[in-house]
Amino acid sequence: MPWRNIRSFLYTPVSVCRNAPAAPGVYAIFTPSEWVYIGESLDIQARLLQHLNGDIPCISRSRASSFSFELLAAPKLGARHRELVLEYLPFCNP
């Protein structure tokens, strides 16, 4: 199933703090031409800030420029995350 949120935001600390919710959901980090990473979190904002601080070297090296997210209830996170990773094959996901 395609990505549900067509809005994207700059992948910077200021933009993450302004635009990413401190709520559960899935999120994507990407460049204009590639999906870098798709993750899930109970706090999307906090998790994106961890990535910006270098917790996953592949993301740090990627030159990602944008992020997007979908809000979801916690019980649905795992299934939606797996679905998106299989569909988009982001290169920093194992």
CA dihedral 49, 94, 71, 43 (to 10 degrees): -40
- Residue 94 pLDDT: 84
Query: Could you list the pLDDT tens digit for every one of the 94 residues in the chain?
Result: 888 888 999 999 999 999 999 999 999 999 999 999 999 999 999 999 999 999 999 999 999 999 999 999 999 999 999 999 999 999 999 8
**Residue whose pair of structure tokens reads 């990473």 in the numeric block:** 37
Per-residue pLDDT, 48: 98
pLDDT at position 59, please? Answer: 98
pLDDT of residue 83: 97
Domains and CATH numbers, the chain: 9-88 (3.40.1440.10)
Instruction: Write 3-6 long-range contacts (CB < 8 A, 24+).
Output: 3/28, 3/68, 3/70, 3/84, 3/88, 4/70, 5/68, 5/69, 5/70, 6/68
| pTM over cut 0.85 | yes
Nearest 5°: phi and psi at 77?
A: -60, -50
